Homo-oligomer: A and B are copies of this chain.
Amino acid sequence: MENNVIFESREALEALLDARNFAAANAAVKDLMPADAAALLEELSEQKKPVLFRLLPKELAADAFAYMSPESQELLVRAFSDRELEEVMDQLFLDDAVDMIEEMPANVVKKILRHVDSETRRMINQMLNYPKDSAGSIMTMEYVDLKRGMTVEQAFERIRRTGVDKETIYTCYVTDSRRKLLGIVTVKDLLLAQKDQIIRDIMETNVKFVRTHTDQEEAARELSRYDFLALPVTDAEDRLVGIVTVDDAIDVIQEEATEDIEKMAAMAPSDRPYLKTTVWATWRKRAPWLLFLMISATFTSGIISSFEDALAASVVLTSFIPMLMDTGGNSGGQASATIIRGLSLGEIQYRDVPRVLLKECSVALLCGGTLAAANFIKLLCFDRVGPAVALVVCVTLVAAMVVANLVGSGLPVLAKRLGLDPTVTASPLITTIVDAVALMIYFNIAKLVLGI
């Protein structure tokens, strides 16, 4: 709804810019939310982006800048005068600045770093050194710190004096002279306390925190587990170096879910929106997996070839191969998707593995029984095959599903135990394994029962 309004107004706005009616264009955009202004800028042509950007009120422009794609940010930075760049960098939160710099070519980074003060430059350089996808790489170093001996009134003074540039002021961090984290105080605590109470007496000392090298996904999960607005990040010496705020945690949660879905569908994960990814980039992400899976499928072909005689003797068996393979693959895919998501949300631990395998085995027997019963009737009444062939098909069906569910649930856990990403063992890879096993079962049961 919101989006449509923006995209409808885009054409009207472009007309205003073409007519150089800047006053009207300014009036049209000045009350936008930063995220909406960014979406609008994103849609404009390269020439018009800097024009509209300069028409935005200064604060809105800087806020919108943080929401833009790296391409548009680069384009604007190249177009900026020194003054403009300084103003934007001054307004930008440190973590947003770092996110941007990570995506820029070296010459643009140089231009940017020339226009920030030396303290900011030092902090940016420090944050750039944290590993990708770590808590350190998504945290901000702009938090409110308090001292244990302050009164509530002094704390408020400090918040008023330093808070304007902080990404969040609602959780304040109490540190000692060596920046060691001693406790936290929320603004709610402060508001509900007496003015002359001492921070030491009202701070919460049982503080949850993560390390700079903690995986960003785990940081986001901790934050969401405890319903925090921000989570402190400390170095190996327990010194507070930054905080992860809830808005960045939400972004991580969404990115990780997208990544899981991409990997489950056998694609290398992408951190770009679909429409912004080129055809070549998409090809690079998908082709290797398709190729790998195609080569794995050769085993299946090999198995079929080696049973050519049996198939020639009973051609009707061939027609059930797709149904058996698909059903096994679907069942294994259900199991693996469930387990991968459970591992990802932390709902399933290693100690649960026996329970998981037992459960998947039971579910496979139940589902397999249901499907086999339906299939048996269909085979006899509609396909008019003999009861021996029907038996072979139905027994294979149940056996394939049990194998599929065990592989589908066991493989992700095994991958995780080996330190691999469980997601890459998802549906397509499992399908390939299950196909091969299902065919082996099929032909061997056929030989046994039909005596071919």
Contact B290 A226 (CB under 8 A): no
Contact B322 A300 (CB under 8 A): yes
Tell me the complex Cα distance, A336–B267, Å.
12
Cβ of A187: which chain B residues have Cβ within 8 Å of it? 170, 187, 191
Cβ of A206: which chain B residues have Cβ within 8 Å of it? 31, 33
Selected interface stretch from A103-111, A113-121, A338-346: A338-346
Cβ of A302: which chain B residues have Cβ within 8 Å of it? 319
- A: residues with CB less than 8 A from B are 2-3, 7, 31, 33-35, 156, 159-160, 163-164, 169-170, 187-188, 191-192, 206, 208, 222, 224-227, 229, 246-247, 249-251, 253-254, 257-258, 260-262, 264-267, 273-275, 279-280, 282-283, 286-287, 289-291, 293-295, 297-298, 300-302, 304-305, 308, 311-312, 315-316, 318-323, 325-327, 329-331, 333-334, 336-342, 345-349, 351-352, 355-356, 359, 362-363, 366-367, 370-371, 374-375, 378, 383, 427-428, 431-432, 435, 439
Partner of A191, one of B156, B258, B338: B156
Contact A318 B311 (CB under 8 A): yes
Partner of A338, one of B31, B262, B283, B325: B262
With contact pairs A226-B33, A294-B375, A363-B283 given, residues A339 and B274 touching in the complex (Cβ less than 8 Å): yes
Contact A191 B208 (CB under 8 A): no
Interface centre among A304, A322, A333, A375 (most CB of B within 10 A): A322
18 A–B contacts, CB within 8 A, in A order: A35-B226, A156-B191, A224-B251, A253-B257, A261-B337, A265-B338, A274-B341, A286-B331, A289-B330, A290-B330, A294-B371, A297-B322, A300-B322, A301-B323, A304-B321, A322-B325, A325-B325, A330-B428
Q: Report the minimum CB–CB distance from A202 to chain B (whole Å).
A: 14
Chain B residue at smallest Cβ distance from A324 = B297
Contact B156 A169 (CB under 8 A): no
Partner of A367, one of B262, B283, B312: B283
Tell me the complex Cα distance, A311–B304, Å.
13
Tell me the complex Cα distance, A274–B319, Å.
36
Cβ of A316: which chain B residues have Cβ within 8 Å of it? 305
Chain B residue at smallest Cβ distance from A298 = B323
Chain copies in the assembled complex = 2
- Having A297-B327, A329-B431, one finds 6 other A-B pairs with CB under 8 Å, namely A260-B261, A274-B342, A274-B348, A275-B348, A279-B366, A289-B334
Tell me the complex Cα distance, A163–B294, Å.
61
Q: Which 8 A-B pairs have the closest CB atoms?
A: A265-B337, A257-B257, A227-B247, A300-B322, A297-B323, A304-B319, A301-B319, A283-B366
Contact A224 B208 (CB under 8 A): no
Cβ of A371: which chain B residues have Cβ within 8 Å of it? 287, 290-291, 294
Q: Report the minimum CB–CB distance from A61 to chain B (whole Å).
A: 16
Cβ of A275: which chain B residues have Cβ within 8 Å of it? 342, 347-348, 352, 355-356
Cβ of A273: which chain B residues have Cβ within 8 Å of it? 342, 345, 347
Cβ of A246: which chain B residues have Cβ within 8 Å of it? 229, 246, 250
Contact A346 B192 (CB under 8 A): no
